[in-house]
Amino acid sequence: MMTNADQFAFVKKNPISVGCGVVALALIAGIYLRSDAIPEAEGILVQKTAQAERYALNIKYSAQLKEQLEALAGANKEIDGRIVRASQLGTNTQYFYKLQSDSGVKLLDFRQGTAGVVAKGKSTFVPIPFSVSVQGTLPQVMKFLRELESGNHYCRILTASCAGSAVARSQPLTLSLNLEMLGLP
């Protein structure tokens, strides 16, 4: 067992090795304590790099976004003008009577169905169902159909039945349609 005096004498006798030992211990402690710093800093660097890249890409890809958005907004303005409003029954009926007068067919039946509910967040528009029956010659019926399909409003025909008399070919044709128009409630 070394006394304090012995220890002091030992230090005095071996100052370099003892000093080096103390410094080495301090360095080991320092290395140990700082061992987490590099992985932590690297993790932050990776995170920041990803963020910077994301920002840079956002800026890069939005180079012409403003112009594209303006073009799209213009297109949507036009779309809004072609959308049917389910609540405006009078205007909708007027549209079909206008088609009747333009094409020359006779409107036998016209009914507007109940529009569905707009799914929140999923869609903006809702299909509004209509049932229409008209009578006329083939050119009249075709004109009515073409004006309906490529007319002012967006329309899709779900079912259609076009029949004439097999016995009397000169008789007018009857066209019955179940269709949907894109609209708002």
Partner 1 sequence: MLSRLKSKSEVPAPSATVWHPNFRNYQKLPDIKVVRTAFFINGAAILVVVSLLILLGFNEWQLHAVNAQTTAIQSQIDRDTKLSDQSVVLFKSFQAEESKVNEVDTFVKSKAAVSTIILRLGETLPKNVALDLLDFRENGLVMRLSVRGTPDVASGYATTYLEQLRSDSQLKLFEEFTFTGTPSPNPATNRMAVEFFLRLKGAPAVKK
The residue (of 35 and 87) whose beta carbon lies closer to partner 1 is: 35
Residues of this chain, 88-107, that bind partner 1 according to CB under 8 A: none
Least Å from the CB of residue 174 to partner 1: 10
- C-beta separation of 175 from 124 below 8 A: no
Query: What are the structure tokens assigned to 158, written together?
Result: 């779900």
If one asks whether residue 6 binds partner 1 (CB under 8 A), the answer comes out as no
- For helices 4-13 and 15-33, the axis angle rounded to 10 degrees is 90
If one asks whether residue 86 binds partner 1 (CB under 8 A), the answer comes out as no
Least Å from the CB of residue 158 to partner 1: 7
If one asks whether residue 127 binds partner 1 (CB under 8 A), the answer comes out as yes
Cα distance between residue 118 and residue 126, in whole Å: 6
If one asks whether residue 9 binds partner 1 (CB under 8 A), the answer comes out as no
Mention every residue, 6+ apart, whose C-beta is less than 8 A from residue 125: 83, 118, 182, 183, 184
Least Å from the CB of residue 69 to partner 1: 5
Q: How many beta carbons lie within 10 A of that of residue 79, not counting itself?
A: 13
If one asks whether residue 85 binds partner 1 (CB under 8 A), the answer comes out as no
The residue within the footprint of partner 1, chosen from 9, 11, 20, 108 (CB under 8 A), is 20
The residue within the footprint of partner 1, chosen from 1, 2, 5, 37 (CB under 8 A), is 37
- C-beta separation of 169 from 161 below 8 A: no
Strands 84-85 and 173-184: parallel
The residue (of 107 and 141) whose beta carbon lies closer to partner 1 is: 141
If one asks whether residue 27 binds partner 1 (CB under 8 A), the answer comes out as yes
Rounded alpha-carbon distances, angstroms, from residue 82 to 9, 66, 134: 103, 25, 23
Query: What are the structure tokens assigned to 140, written together?
Result: 């009249």
Stretch that binds partner 1, among 4-12, 69-77, 84-92, 100-108 (CB under 8 A): 69-77
What is the pattern of x (binds partner 1, CB under 8 A) and - over residues 44-63? Answer: xx--xx-xx-xxx-xx-xx-
